[in-house]
């Protein structure tokens, strides 16, 4: 077990935070506020050098709702080979095309606290008429960047190599409908350019155990039908098979093994053995017709695969591991090693859905040992109605509380249920008074079933009285419920409802039950959730309507909300400065603040970019390359506890010691996995409460969970926190690498080299 004393490097974020606060209105050092006169360790975690003067615990500029920083963006654009400094988002080149700064449609927190981000929808700025007619031609592979923060949060950008991930430099072997026939290539533009055959857009990303980031799948754009040279046709977005790995130590992308299936919008999860599981995605977004596999036409990729990071090889799982899932299915690794599908995702194809979409309403688990899926039940049922839940249900069933469209839907449903049908509600509902509810009514009232365009967030895992982690609670708030509508993915109007699904595992046995929490303060489409180090969950960005069904008419929601796990209620917090609807991102940083980015909307009404901002709608005039930093109330305080030293590496079952400066006050320790997310999903998202086993002065003895299924190998952040009247106050984190000692290539160098060797062996590449 390697140890490190948290010195200057780990103190940088706190310095930055302090500097930031200073810039926002004073550091409070001279305020004379003596509410808390204890002399605490200085912000920089060096106990040997105490602060020259005590700071008030709560500075004058403290805000109970937190604060967003001013937006900031990359200052330059490369235009016609020259670097141009500009505040504009885009600059027109000599040939009339727009060159734009990339937006963070995908974002990952690297082990060294820098942020890797990937652009989204690159090229849409050059659509003149219709995105469907032209996107196959004007789109290009998405750029990548690494963002780091220096003193005073001074941002700096680095361009990885290759800049766009490097997939398919010689073109992608597109599976066109007429491929292999004499008409091959005549009615499609699949081979007219290699500039858009390996886009990172719509890939999924995952953090590998060694701290690298793997992007899997993505987009190959072309038109079919379409004719080379004519900007008229019908775009096709083909899911690609590529996998590429970003190495943060060299800032480079390299290619690893291809999947067996092209996937657009797949989801990945790290398994207990550190292999990577991938499910869903679609091979042809617009025209999912596969003459060679007719049974798979009209639906997403049902086959699943497993990636071995040591060999760089994807292996197709047996047919028992097949399952029809929505795009970007919300997947989580359970403590028993199963992968849970939480009946959430995105629905796009064809005509807004797959022909087997009905099955997406079912919560199910995949057992890697047996390679089988097991149906658990209808998402949201059974519902345990406590006081909060009854209140929420009553509120939902109060027709005057609904929007006009929701009112119409509910009215129609209720009127059609006048025969008093009770299908199975008595079996499905755990309620003190369920006599008036039918299953249909209940399902709609709770927004049960498949939920689109929202986060499925794992609440912090907690040990039971035996120190074991067997239960998981997942928070689903907002998004678009099915509403029994045909439209994608079931509705147009988002909900404000919030639900916790509790999954209890006992070996392979799995129990499932839902409960309603307090509702969001407003319905929210496409909000990004972030688990905070105080145990709360915050949601950022998103819109008031589904910006995919009719782009340009989503009103941006810039007010963040915070979910209190103790009261199970949502509270409105500070508001950001920029609208961020589709392809927004949010990532918890090592110092407990949140980096907010993204906004890459689909062109208004699928045409060209038109801003409807004057009408109170989101500005759909292109991507927003800017970032904002959200500082939560706890991060404004001067009395945050400090981790003085902690191990650099841990294994499951380890008993270990950390040194802190406020040992007596610290009552909670949270291990949070570094976020690697896109499109609201991070299949490895998790936080684990570690029990404090013993205390000795500044030393806290902690214990890691005993199973890799609770804490898969990867990069984490360790936070300690204390309770205060204003709420829980966490420290800045210490970096922890959780290793899997049974993994044959554990260790970054070994993994990388084995991967490369195997790839060369398989491809016969000479280097």
Partner 1 sequence: MQMTKKARTLAEAAVFALLGTALPSTLLAHGAVEVDNAPEHILQASISQPAAIPGLSAVILDAPQPGILVSYRGSSVLTVEDTEGEGLLRFGPEGVMANRSSADWPGLSEARPGMVNSHNKDSSWVKVSATPSFGWLDPRLGVENGEGLWRIPVITDSGAQSEIRGRLTRNPLPKDDHH
Which residue intervals of 24-88 are DSSP H helices? none
CA angle, residues 720, 724, 730, in degrees to nearest 5: 25
Least CB distance from residue 129 to partner 1, whole Å?
10
Interaction residues for partner 1, span 50-69 (CB under 8 A): none
Least CB distance from residue 143 to partner 1, whole Å?
24
Using alpha carbons, select from 285, 289, 317, 100 the residue that is nearest to residue 179: 289
Residue nearer to partner 1 on the CB measure, 137 or 684: 137
Interaction residues for partner 1, span 296-315 (CB under 8 A): 297-298
Least CB distance from residue 661 to partner 1, whole Å?
48
Applying CB under 8 A, does 231 fall inside the site for partner 1?
A: no
Least CB distance from residue 216 to partner 1, whole Å?
21
> Which two structure tokens, joined as six digits, stand for 286?
């617009």
Q: Say how far apart CA 14 and CA 644 lie, in whole Å.
A: 13
| Among 41, 553, 737, 754, contact with partner 1 (rule: CB under 8 A) | 553
Applying CB under 8 A, does 366 fall inside the site for partner 1?
A: no
Name the one range near partner 1 by CB under 8 A: 131-139, 195-203, 468-476, 635-643.
131-139
Q: What are phi and psi of 14, to 5 degrees?
A: -70, -40
Interaction residues for partner 1, span 432-451 (CB under 8 A): 439-440, 443, 449
Please report the DSSP string for 633-667 in residue order: HHHH-S----EEEEESEEETT-EEEEEES-TTTEE
Q: DSSP E strands: which ranges in 196-264?
A: 199-207, 213-226, 233-239, 243-247, 252-256
Buried b (16+ CB within 10 A) or exposed e, 200-223: bbbbbbbbbbbbbbbbbbbbbbbb
| Among 97, 234, 310, 390, contact with partner 1 (rule: CB under 8 A) | 234
Interaction residues for partner 1, span 598-627 (CB under 8 A): 602, 605-607
Applying CB under 8 A, does 549 fall inside the site for partner 1?
A: yes
Least CB distance from residue 247 to partner 1, whole Å?
34
Applying CB under 8 A, does 181 fall inside the site for partner 1?
A: no
Chain-centre distance for alpha carbon 406 = 28
Using alpha carbons, select from 583, 359, 379 the residue that is nearest to residue 497: 379
Residue nearer to partner 1 on the CB measure, 404 or 614: 404
Q: Enumerate residues 6+ apart whose C-beta is below 8 A from 220.
A: 168, 172, 174, 190, 196, 197, 198, 199, 237, 238, 239, 240, 262
Applying CB under 8 A, does 288 fall inside the site for partner 1?
A: yes
Applying CB under 8 A, does 377 fall inside the site for partner 1?
A: yes
| Among 361, 505, 536, 620, contact with partner 1 (rule: CB under 8 A) | 361
Q: Say how far apart CA 293 and CA 296 lie, in whole Å.
A: 6
569-575 sheet: strands from edge to edge: 528-531, 537-540, 559-564, 569-575
SS3 744: coil
Interaction residues for partner 1, span 324-343 (CB under 8 A): 324
Applying CB under 8 A, does 739 fall inside the site for partner 1?
A: no
Least CB distance from residue 293 to partner 1, whole Å?
7
Applying CB under 8 A, does 367 fall inside the site for partner 1?
A: yes
SS3 294: helix
SS3 375: strand
- What does the per-residue mask of binding to partner 1 show for 235-264, with x meaning CB under 8 A? --x---------------------------
Interaction residues for partner 1, span 381-410 (CB under 8 A): 381, 404-405
Interaction residues for partner 1, span 476-515 (CB under 8 A): 482, 484-488, 490, 492, 508, 510
Residue nearer to partner 1 on the CB measure, 79 or 484: 484
Applying CB under 8 A, does 128 fall inside the site for partner 1?
A: no
Interaction residues for partner 1, span 132-151 (CB under 8 A): 132-133
């Amino acid at each position: 077990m390697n140890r490190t004393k948290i010195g200057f490097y780990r103190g940088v974020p706190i310095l930055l935070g302090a500097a930031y606060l200073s810039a926002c209105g004073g550091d409070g050092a001279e305020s004379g506020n003596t509410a808390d006169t204890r002399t605490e360790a200085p912000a920089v975690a060096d106990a040997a050098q105490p602060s020259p003067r005590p700071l008030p615990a709560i500075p004058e500029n403290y805000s109970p709702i937190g604060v967003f920083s001013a937006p900031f963006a990359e200052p330059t654009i490369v235009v016609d080979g020259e670097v141009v400094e500009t505040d504009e988002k885009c600059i027109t080149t000599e040939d009339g095309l727009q060159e734009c700064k990339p937006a963070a449609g995908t974002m990952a927190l690297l082990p060294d606290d820098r942020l890797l981000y990937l652009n989204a929808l690159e090229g849409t700025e050059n659509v003149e008429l219709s995105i469907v007619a032209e996107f196959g031609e004007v789109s290009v592979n998405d750029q990548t960047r690494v963002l780091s923060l220096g003193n005073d949060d001074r941002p700096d950008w680095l361009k990885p190599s290759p800049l766009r991930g490097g997939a398919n430099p010689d073109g992608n072997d597109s599976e066109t409908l007429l491929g292999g026939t004499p008409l091959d290539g005549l009615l499609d533009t699949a081979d007219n350019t290699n500039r858009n055959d390996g886009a990172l857009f719509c890939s999924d990303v995952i953090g590998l155990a060694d701290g690298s980031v793997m992007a899997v799948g993505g987009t190959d754009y072309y038109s079919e039908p379409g004719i080379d040279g004519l900007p008229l046709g019908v775009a096709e977005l083909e899911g690609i098979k590529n996998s590429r790995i970003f190495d943060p130590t060299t800032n480079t992308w390299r290619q690893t093994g291809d999947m067996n299936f092209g996937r657009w919008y797949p989801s990945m999860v790290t398994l207990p053995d550190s292999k990577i599981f991938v499910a869903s995605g679609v091979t042809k977004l617009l025209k999912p017709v596969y003459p060679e596999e007719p049974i798979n036409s009209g639906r997403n990729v049902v086959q699943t695969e497993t990636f071995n990071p040591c060999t760089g090889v994807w292996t197709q799982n047996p047919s028992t591991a097949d399952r029809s899932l929505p795009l970007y299915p919300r997947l989580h690794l359970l403590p028993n090693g199963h992968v849970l599908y939480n009946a959430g995702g995105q629905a796009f194809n064809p005509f807004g859905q797959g022909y087997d979409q009905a099955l997406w309403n079912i919560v199910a688990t995949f057992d890697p040992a047996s390679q089988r899926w097991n149906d658990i039940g209808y998402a949201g049922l059974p519902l345990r109605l406590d006081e909060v839940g009854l209140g929420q249900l009553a509120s939902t069933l109060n027709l005057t509380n609904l929007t006009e469209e929701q009112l119409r839907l509910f009215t129609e449903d209720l009127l059609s249920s006048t025969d008093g049908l009770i299908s199975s509600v008595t079996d499905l509902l755990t309620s003190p008074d369920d006599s008036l509810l039918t299953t249909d009514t209940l399902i709609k009232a709770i927004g049960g079933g498949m939920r689109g365009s929202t986060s499925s967030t794992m609440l912090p895992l907690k040990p039971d009285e035996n120190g074991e982690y067997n239960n998981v609670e997942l928070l689903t708030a907002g998004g678009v419920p099915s509403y029994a509508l045909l439209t994608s993915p079931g509705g147009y109007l988002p909900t404000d409802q919030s639900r916790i699904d509790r999954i209890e595992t006992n070996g392979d046995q799995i129990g499932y039950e839902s409960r309603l929490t307090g509702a969001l303060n407003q319905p929210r489409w496409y909000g990004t959730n972030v688990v905070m180090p105080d145990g709360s969950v915050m949601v950022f960005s998103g819109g008031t309507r589904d910006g995919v069904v009719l782009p340009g008419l989503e009103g941006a929601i810039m007010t963040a909300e915070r979910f209190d796990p103790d009261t199970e209620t949502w509270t409105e917090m500070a508001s950001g400065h920029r609208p961020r609807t589709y392809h927004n991102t949010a990532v918890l940083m090592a110092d407990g603040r949140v980096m907010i980015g993204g906004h890459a909307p689909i062109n208004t009404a699928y045409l060209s970019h038109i801003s409807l901002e004057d009408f109170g709608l989101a500005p759909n005039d292109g991507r927003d390359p800017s970032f904002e930093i959200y500082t939560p109330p706890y991060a404004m305080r001067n009395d945050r506890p400090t981790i003085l030293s902690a191990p650099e590496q841990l294994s499951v079952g380890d008993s270990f010691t950390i040194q802190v400066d406020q040992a007596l006050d610290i009552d909670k320790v949270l291990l949070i996995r570094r976020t690697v997310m896109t499109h609201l999903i991070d299949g490895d998202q998790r936080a684990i409460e570690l029990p404090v086993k013993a205390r000795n002065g500044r030393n806290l003895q902690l214990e890691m969970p005993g199973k890799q299924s609770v804490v898969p190998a990867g990069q984490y952040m360790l936070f300690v926190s204390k309770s205060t009247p204003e709420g829980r106050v966490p420290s800045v984190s210490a970096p922890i690498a959780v290793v899997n000692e049974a993994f044959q290539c554990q260790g970054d160098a070994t993994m990388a080299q084995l991967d490369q060797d195997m790839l060369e062996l398989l491809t016969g590449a000479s280097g």
